[in-house]
Structure 1
Amino acid sequence: MLKDQVQVSETFKKQASKSIVSIALFVIVYLFLIVLAVGLTALCVTGGFMLIAVRPGLLTILLGLGLASVGLMVLIFLLKFIFKSHKVDRSHLVRITAKQEPKLFEVLQEIVTEVGTTFPKKVYLSSDVNASVFYDSSFWSMFLPIRKNLQIGLGLVNTVTETELKAILAHEFGHFSQRTMKVGSYVFNVNQVIYNMLYENESFDRMIQTWAEISNYFSIFVLIAVKIVNGIQWVLQKMYTFVNLNYMALSREMEFHADEIAAHVCGGEPLQNSLMRMSLAEHAYTEVFNYYERHFKDNFKSQNIYQEQRALVHFYAKESQLSFVKNLPQVHLSDMNKYNKSKLVIKDQWASHPSLEERVERLQHLGIQYDNALDRDAEVLFVDIEKTQKELTKRIFETVAYQGSVKVLDLNEFKTSFEKEFLESSFDKRYNGYYDDKNPTAFDLDDISKRQEVIEDLFSQDNCNLVYHFIGLSNDLEGIRQISLGGIDIKSFDYDGIKYTKKDCESLIVILSQELEDLKTKIEQIDKNVYSYFRSLEAEDNSSSVLKEKYTRYFEFDKSLEAKEDIYNRLSEAVQFINYTTPFEEIESNFRGIKPLEKILKANIEELLADESLKGILTEEVKTDLEKYISKNWIYFIGEQYRDDHLQILFTAMHQYMYVLSRAFFTLKQDLLTYQIGLEKDKVVNA
């Protein structure tokens, strides 16, 4: 049996021991807090009765009861999690049986036998691009045997081969064979206890508030109890970090171990291929939902989201010029990291899984290869995959509240509509992606020297790489600044293969800041060369200055955009208080404080509404929302209540305001780049 052949590493054993020790330490700390609380309760109750007995009277009775309540409140706080029920929501899952899907269950049984583990208690289908093991975890599951359940996502089945799916399932059954899964049950319950005492305190807060309102004397003792509770919460937060950091380290080792089991079942390559294709499959799946969200008001509904997901996987793969094997795109690490030029490596201690690069490297190091030449789509394991896909699609769209008649799109209608929208929001391929993640840099349009260039050199891969090096370096600098300021709590990190400590941050920031400035200068020069090249083409054809006008308008809008967005950001931050319990006087003061910001926002909205060039963006709905907001001064709080209807008018206007700004900016950029590349096409035609 593989579970006996594949030995766990020393690191695995070490992390398992540390996790168990951390859980044991939590239990000791928690029991110690309980003992202290019981002792405090006994002391307070005894003191309260003695106070009343020494000098009976209304005052001493109130003081005695208040004193006795301190210990009781602390004890109730520590024990209240016992009365909290935890239910797992499985409404999104569909249970399947061997009778319904005999081929799939036959494969599951083969893997179970080969790995040497137990068959899942239940098998479920979900709509996700994922497969996972989960179990019914409760207080008693820490002491009794637990049966694991298996969840298989149709979004995953839809984008892998039969062998790749088998490898993924073998990975999950690798978890079934791990006795350390029991540790996960303990950690889950520890987290439930801590979370309950840190964040689920509404009923407890109401109880002590009610007690405090009975008498001013009681409120004094409630404050004492709250101070003690705050101290307990501080201890629990430290324990949460300690327990979970150790378990996350164990979880990463469990993933490596499960990968090795999968490699012994199917070879390393199928698992590698499926892991590297996963992000593409997830992106395609998400974009299908984004499409239907955009067209909610058109009452569009999918007939089969999985066929549409598959279509987008192929579409994006062809756009990225990926190769295909067995009708599925082959994604490599070089493809995934093509635009990632970061050199900063920070070990994420909170990650439950190793990085994809680490997993692929481990699998390649194992060197286990099997012949999978006769591999087929994973869909063959299902009796009627299309019927199953349509049933899950129907379940997903059941919760959508459409207004009016619904239009169900077939696959061709979806593909045509999606690809049209994609092209409308993309830039010409001759730019080679240069402008995908950057905007034209502002410069003096009259201070440009003529240069002999060809378009292939302007948008060469080297020039495009400069853009992504700039983005990567900017992100790295921000990360190192966060380390320096303590925002990221780590002792050391790697940059460009060299290990640094926190004290090295300041000198490294100086060096990298200069590198960033040098890159910025190079990119600015490329942008100037681009303008010079296309301006020359325009001058050859006619004496117009349309290109200069488009650049000027774009630069002016870009310059004003930051201030316009700043108003939105400041106003958003200023109204955050409505999400928290706030005294009435403070609420009224806060709303008075946002009036100057609203005045600027309304002026900006009026300017946008008057701009003739934005007519295509200002739909009737957008105009109505914006005009309604600027039509009067809305009152957001009256008496002791928020005016939710008026707040909704404000928030809707803010959303539409940002929508108009972003669309206006993109439209200007697209118009400029479309006209610009059109000059090159005109040159080709004239030639």
Structure 2
Amino acid sequence: MYIQVSGDFRKKSRSAVLAISIFIIVYILMFLLTIALAAGCVIGGILLIAAKPMFVTIMLGAGLAGTGGFIFFFIIKFLFKKHINDRSYLTEIKRSDEPELFSMIDDIVKEAETDFPKKVYLSYDVNASVFYDSSFWSMFYPIKKNLTIGLGLINTSTKQELKAILSHEFGHFSQRSMKVGSYVYNVNQIIFNLVNDDESYRNSIEKWASWSGYFSIFAALALFITGKIQWVLTKMYSFVNIRHMALSREMEFHADEVAAHIAGSLPLEESLLRMELANNSYQNVISFYEAKISKNQTSRNIYKEQSFVMNFLAQQSELDTKHGLPNVKLSESGLFNKSKLMFENQWASHPSNEDRIARLRTLNIIKDSENEPARDLFRDFEKTQEKLTVKIFSNVKYQKGKTDLDFETFALEFENQHFKDSFDKIFNNYYDNKNPDFSIQENPAAKDLSFEELFSKEKVEMVYTLIALENDKKTIEAIANKEIILKTFDYDGRKYITKDAGKLISEIDTSITEVKNLVNQNDSDIYTYFLKLAGEADKKSEFENIYGKFSKYDSEFEDRFKPYVDISNATAFLSATTPFEQIIRNFKNLKPHEEKLKSEITSYLDSPEMIDDLEEQTIKDLKYYVEKDLIYFNNNQYLETNLQLLMTAINIQPYFLHKKYFLMKKELLTIMKDLENRTYLSERLSVAEESAVPEIKGTEPAE
């Protein structure tokens, strides 16, 4: 199979090769200069010793020669550098273990006209990749690649989707034209090693400098000279890397085309759209068990729980199901991203999903699909899941013997935690990234308001449009201030040059004002609507009380946050070298701030709902802190245990402030939901009563 590369690919390949050619020329010039400098240092050192052999001249001559040697080694050190990938988190599988999976890989390799991977590994996550150990010499001889497949990906894909994703990975190396990309990648790694990977080099110089005070002078000289060389290489790295990243994006499009020809366009599109949900679900499970470490609880099968979380979140978002898996549509994946700003991210190695899917739809290649779960490729997938789950938790240190949390308990606890930490979906995500506007007033003129209209999809999109406009404005201000370096960018389908950014900001300000007015009007209608419902339910005082308390806390939030900023500033000296007398004065000045902190924390500790998510030991530490008058510095030494308690108390303060805000917001939304539910039930009952036809019994005529 041969797929013609695009004009953009050829253009960016030439740009990348030209950049590398310029780098090579610069490098050769620097290499020759370095040889001359190193030779001069060595010859100068020898002549110095030969002129007058004595201890001082021998040390100075050796130091000068050493300087030349270290400078020369710096410019050639990448020749001896080999990049070894960490395999500790990988589990190798062989053909005899999983013949059906290897048969699929055989088919892909045959169709892509590439080589079978050297080794196949399973990883924990929701991803697939091809990797290899590389060095300078790998530019001149072929290297067999290794394939990594994430179990979290297999767990959330069909067979055809997995085939598409793996075909994409092999697509990077299947075409002869793609070898340009591999070559660029290797050269880019070499430059990176020269520029950044110098820890062992510095350690060698420091060790040499420690042998003698004479050598330390020359070590400083060597570091100064190599620092200047490194500065030039850093500039060259930026120059080459920008073009490498641009080529990488084209390589992604090309690999997608290979995958589409092998497995079809639609399976790759659907897997791309679901991947974010699948990965988010996996990370949710990981986070759940991170909070269980203190309770010595682990999972027996983290991937069974990933599937549960993915389906649960899909259900909450009302996603359709296809082939037994959530079917995420492109319109749904971008529901909350209303930005009109488009510019090519010159540092991005991957194009956006939207761009990739647009290309796939243009190709529209249809293939026969195997839509059974990808897990069916394994002989005993559940056993494999459990094996990798054990490996995930193997590096976690538990204080006591760990126990596996049964699946039913996990499901119940996860659901409860989700509902506890989120707002009711009755509001259609309107308040997920927005707080009530407490500046609005009741609108007596508003009539015929309906809940469905107030929280419709159009009104929700209006909120996220406002958020996008405000974010776009910040980005364009950064472009105007040259914090982001661009030549051109697109906004709302029009191309702009950088100097026009300032003019565009005023236009965005106009749009922000227009949308903000619409959102404010809707917020006013929402307040009016619920005020009316509260009055009808004889709960107007309760609603206004909850609304007023939240409004007050919202207005005071910045002032409540200020003590945290003050005490953080007052303890900043702990991370700096400070004279003993000043330390004593600083802790004395800290006392007033500490009293405020203790008072705040005490009020939170007295509220069960504020501490229900904290670990038992953290609660004990906080109680001990507020009850004791701790000493932090004694006999010219910091008392680390007490300082740790202080830092725990300081760092917990923002958590308490934000949690209280969340709880007050949820309390307000809960009464709003209850009022709406009451109205809904009342209306249903009224309709039922009106539609009910009374049974009229006839009477027998009197005889």
Q: TM-score, normalised by structure 2?
A: 0.87
Equivalent residues of 1:142, 1:186 under 8 A apart: no
Structure 1 residue 225 displacement after superposition? 3.8
Equivalent position of 1:395 in the other structure: 391
| Matching residue of 1:201 | 199
* Pairwise CA distance, 1:224: 4.3
> What is residue 451 of structure 1 aligned with on the other side?
446
From 250, 254, 271, give the equivalent of 1:253. 250
One-letter amino acid matched to 1:610: S
Q: Find out whether 1:287 has 2:288 as its counterpart.
A: no
* Match 1:409 to one of 389, 405, 412: 405
Match of 2:273 among 269, 273, 276: 276
Q: 2:367 aligns with which of 366, 370, 390?
A: 370
CA distance in 2: counterparts of 1:566 and 1:500, whole angstroms: 41
Aligned residue runs from structure 1 range 124-203, under 5 A = 124-179=121-176, 180-181=178-179, 183-184=181-182, 187-188=185-186, 190-191=188-189, 194-195=192-193, 197-198=195-196, 200-201=198-199
Partner-residue secondary structure (3-state), 1:488: coil
2:531 to 525, 530, 535: 535
Shift of 1:527: 2.5
Q: Which amino acid aligns with 2:417?
A: E
The residue that corresponds to 2:352 in the other structure is: 355
- 1:384-407 deviation line (CA, Å, top 9, x unaligned): 111111111111122222233434
Tell me how far apart the structure 2 counterparts of residues 577 and 17 of structure 1 sit (CA, whole Å). 54
2:92–2:119 Cα contact (<8 Å) kept: yes
Corresponding residue SS for 1:675: helix
Change (3 A) 1:474 1:416: same
Matched, 1:616 2:613: no
Gap change, CA 1:397 and 1:433, over 3 Å in 2? same
Which of residues 85, 93, 96 in structure 2 aligns to 1:96?
93
Alpha-carbon displacement from aligned partner over 1:356-396 (angstroms, at most 9, x marks no partner) = 11111111111211243x52111221111111111111111
Q: Partners in 2 of 1:133 and 1:199 — Cα distance?
A: 23
1:42 equivalent in structure 2: 39
CA drift at 1:645:
4.5
> Which residues of structure 1 form unaligned runs of 5+?
none
Contact 1:614 1:664 in 2 (8 A): no
Task: State whether residues 141 and 185 of structure 1, in contact with CA within 8 Å, keep that contact through their aligned partners in structure 2.
Answer: no
Aligned length: 677
Deviates more, 1:233-242 or 1:53-62: 53-62
1:26 aligned partner: 23
Q: Please give the alpha-carbon distance, in whole angstroms, between the structure 2 residues aligned to 1:405 and 1:212.
A: 48
AA aligned opposite 1:184: S
2:34–2:71 contact (8 Å) kept in structure 1: yes
Give the 3-state SS of the residue equivalent to 2:609 in structure 1: coil
Separation in 1 of the partners of 2:588 and 2:143? Answer: 58
Structure 1 SS opposite 2:192: helix
SS of the residue 1:433 aligns to? coil
| Structure 2 Cα separation of the partners of residues 571 and 50 of structure 1 | 62
Superposed displacement of residue 496, structure 1: 0.6
Q: Give the drift of 1:635.
A: 4.2
Letter matched to residue 23 of structure 1: I
CA RMSD of aligned residues (A): 3.4
Specify the alignment match of 1:433 in structure 2: 429
Higher mean displacement: 428-437 or 270-279: 428-437
Matches within 5 A, 1:213-224: 214-215=212-213, 222-224=219-221
User: 1:232 matched to which residue of 2?
Assistant: 229
Range with greater deviation from structure 2 (676-685 or 665-674): 676-685
Asked if 1:673 is matched to 2:666, the reply is: no
Which stretch of the first structure deviates more once superposed, 61-70 or 265-274? Answer: 61-70
Structure showing greater Rg: 2
State the distance in 1 between where 2:330 and 2:247 align.
Answer: 25
What residue is the counterpart of 1:336 in the other structure?
A: 333
> 2:309 is matched with which residue?
312
Contact preservation (8 Å) 1:101, 1:383: yes
- Out of 644, 649, 652, the residue aligned to residue 653 of structure 1 is 649
Q: Does the CA contact (< 8 Å) of 2:136 and 2:186 recur in 1? A: no
Which residue, 467, 474, 477 being the options, matches 1:478? 474
1:584-604 per-residue CA deviation (whole Å, 9 max, x = no partner) reads 459997998798688546624
User: Out of 440, 457, 461, which is 1:461 matched to?
Assistant: 457
Note the C-alpha offset of 1:508.
1.4
In structure 2, the residue corresponding to 1:451 is in which secondary structure?
Answer: coil
What does residue 297 of structure 2 align with?
Answer: 300
Please identify, of 283-292 and 195-204, the stretch whose mean Cα deviation from structure 2 is larger.
Answer: 195-204
1:494 aligned residue: 490
Deviation at 1:338, TM superposition (A): 0.9
- Report the alpha carbon displacement of residue 9 of structure 1 after superposing the two structures with TM: 2.2
The aligned residue for residue 687 of structure 2 is none
Residue 487 of structure 1 deviates from its aligned partner by 1.9
Distance 1:7 1:375 in 2: 29
1:151 counterpart SS class? strand
Query: What is the identity, as a one-letter code, of the residue corresponding to 2:651?
Result: H
Note the alpha carbon deviations across 1:84-115, whole angstroms, 9 max, x for none. Answer: 56432111111111111111111211222222
User: Counterparts of 1:642 and 1:192 in 2: how far apart (Å)?
Assistant: 45
CA distance in 2, matches of 1:7, 1:543: 70
Deviation at residue 279 of structure 1 after TM alignment: 1.0
**TM-score, normalised with respect to structure 1:** 0.89
Q: Distance in 2 between matches of 1:569 and 1:232?
A: 42
Cα contact 1:443–1:528 (8 A) shared by 2 = no
Q: Quick one: structure 1 residues 266 and 194, their matched pair in 2 at CA, closer, same or farther if it must change by over 3 Å?
A: closer
TM superposition shift of 1:451: 3.4
Q: In structure 1, what is the Cα distance between the partners aligned to 2:186 and 2:633?
A: 42
Distance 1:423 1:221, change over 3 A: same
> For residues 620 and 529 of structure 2, what CA distance do their matches in structure 1 show?
43
Gaps of 5+ in 2: 684-703
User: Is residue 422 from structure 1 mapped to residue 422 from structure 2 by the alignment?
Assistant: no
Paired letter, 2:224: K
Distance in 2 between the 1:683 and 1:632 partners? 55
Q: Which residue of structure 1 aligns with residue 522 of structure 2?
A: 526
Asked if structure 1 preserves the Cα contact closer than 8 Å seen for 2:74 and 2:201, the reply is no
Match of 1:9 in 2: 6
Match of 1:507 among 503, 506, 509: 503
Letter in 2 for 1:617: M
CA distance in 2, matches of 1:35, 1:164: 53
Once residues 612 and 593 of structure 1 are traced to their aligned partners in structure 2, the CA distance between those partners, rounded to angstroms, is 28
1:42-61 → structure 2 map (5 Å cutoff): 42-48=39-45
Kept after mapping to 2: 8 A contact 1:480/1:509: yes
Say which SS state the counterpart of residue 617 (structure 1) adopts: helix
User: Equivalent residue for 1:516?
Assistant: 512
* In 1: Cα distance, 2:65 partner to 2:114 partner: 54
Q: Which amino acid aligns with 2:476?
A: I
Q: Distance in 1 between the 2:223 and 2:285 partners?
A: 49
Distance 1:291 1:437, change over 3 A: same
Counterpart amino acid of residue 16 in structure 1: S
2:592 aligned with 1:607, yes or no?
no
- C-alpha contact 1:609 1:618 (8 A) present in aligned 2: no
Q: Answer yes or no: is the 8 Å Cα contact 2:188–2:244 preserved in 1.
A: no
Question: Deviation per CA, 1:478-510, whole angstroms, max 9, x where unpaired?
Answer: 111111222212111111111112211112112
